[in-house]
Amino acid sequence: MWEKINKTILYFFKNIQFTLRTWKNALEISRAYAPSSAKGISVSQVIKEGLLWIFIITVIILLVGIAYNRFSEMKKHQTITDRLTESIGKKTSPPEGEGEKSGSIDKQNDSTAEAPEPDSARVEAPQTAVRPEVVIFNYIPTDDTSDYLILVANKAVRSMYVLQKHGSAWRVIKEYTIAVGEQEGRKVTAGDRRTPEGQYFIVGRKEQSELASIYGPLVYVLDYPNEEDRHAGRTGQGIWIHGTDPDSSPLQTRGCIEMENQNLIELATLLKRGIGTPVTIVCDPNLQDIASAPDFRLCDERRRIILKKNELVEAEFRKLLVSWKTSWERKNLKVYKSFYDTVQFIGQGLDWKGWKERKLRTFGLYDTIAIRIENIMISGIADHSMIVKFLQHYQTNLNSIENGKKLSFKKIDDAWKIVRESTCPKEELLL
């Protein structure tokens, strides 16, 4: 189509050039062979006629130029659209594939990933897989921490099920459509674009303020690779359960489990923080009895271990935070400084020097400072990094402030040091 338009425009210009040449030759012939007695063509007439032709041709050229530019823009737009169309179905989760390289109780790191991608139709399940007809039971509200939920993700039918124990039997209470890795098979190496298979656990939750929009409203971090994966030599990291860009549908991923945003929000109302929730991932086109997939004894044993480790980590950082806020309350800059990495620290756009000067001004401004810390949440758990968020009540003799606080810690010479300090939405701490 575009080639035909270009040829038409070229032909139009050639036609104008031929007309001008013909007019010029006819004028010269007329002047050369006209009888001397005949009324010749005056110079003024030639000029007027020439100017008229020049005006007409100029207008035509301008119109053609505008049309050509319009066609060029349309062609450019079409090219971009074609490229986007070719990329459909290639939505990615973060480098290394998969969600943000987030921390787990076993071993994970903190970083970002996944680039935005265009919307696309929902990924269809393989034709050989038959989606089972599952009876959905009602959710039984409970505040008992020993009553937990289990997630079962079946890659073969692109479905995830939420199981709850009803009496002595586990029942399906929710079913969600999901997207998984664009490559079939079990995850083996970093970047192979496959979703792992096995028994995993949620070890962290990240909120929207910590994420790019492509992950949706929140993510749950899984503990891949687990002990079995590491023993088998399987590599990779950052496997998440996450949402999508607003107004998008689940696409193929680099290994994560992806859900529609409204479904993820609904799931979050059930899981809350979700720490220790078992996630069984299988690829079984013939699975009809969903409750037969998890190893319930293994789920219970490992969940207890994860919760215990998380409890110990929280206790360690709760003690650390008490010492940190006490030094602040007492305006003891020397002790307060000891909690920070003064080389790498960044806080609200300030390095340590700027931060210290601001703190000194604060110390001089108030007679009394009292700080209360509540709702401590720890995420990004790794061997050498940690993110701690909490609700901070800050009161002085002049004012009172309540806000969310986020501290990023890094282990330096066997001691935890603050390398980042910022605020975060209070709503994230009121789960």
Query: Domain locations in the chain?
Result: 2-87, 149-294, 308-429
* Fold matches, 149-294 and 308-429: no
Return d(Cα 419, Cα 346) in angstroms, integer: 6
Kindly tell me if the per-residue pLDDT of 375 is higher than 50.
yes
Q: Is the pLDDT of residue 126 over 60?
A: no
**Rounded to an integer, what distance in angstroms lies between the CA atom of residue 423 and that of residue 52?**
71
Q: Are strands 159-166 and 169-179 parallel, antiparallel or unpaired?
A: antiparallel
Q: Average pLDDT of 2-27?
A: 55
CATH value of 308-429 in 3.30.70.100, 1.10.260.40, 1.10.540.10, 3.10.450.50? 3.10.450.50
Q: For residue range 182-210, list pLDDT tens digits in order.
A: 999 999 999 999 999 999 999 999 988 88
Radius of gyration of the chain (CA): 34
Find all residues with CB under 8 Å of 261, minimum gap 6, and list them. Answer: 216, 217, 243, 244, 246
What pLDDT does residue 33 have?
Answer: 47
Is pLDDT at 367 greater than 60 in this prediction? yes
Using pLDDT thresholds of 50, 70 and 90, give the confidence band for residue 357.
Answer: very high
- In terms of pLDDT, which residue wins out, 351 or 39? 351
Please give the CATH number for the structural domain made up of 149-294: 2.40.440.10
pLDDT higher for 5 or 335?
A: 335
> For residues 216 and 118, which has the higher predicted lDDT (pLDDT)?
216
Q: What is the mean pLDDT of residues 277-282?
A: 98
Is the pLDDT at 156 greater than 60? The verdict is yes
**Where does residue 58 rank: exposed (0-12), middle (13-18), buried (19+ CB within 10 A)?**
exposed
When pLDDT is cut at 50, 70 and 90, the band that residue 7 belongs to is low
Instruction: Say what the pLDDT of residue 21 is.
Output: 59
Q: Are strands 159-166 and 278-282 parallel, antiparallel or unpaired?
A: unpaired
**Both structure tokens of 2:** 């575009």
Judge whether residue 47 has pLDDT over 70: no
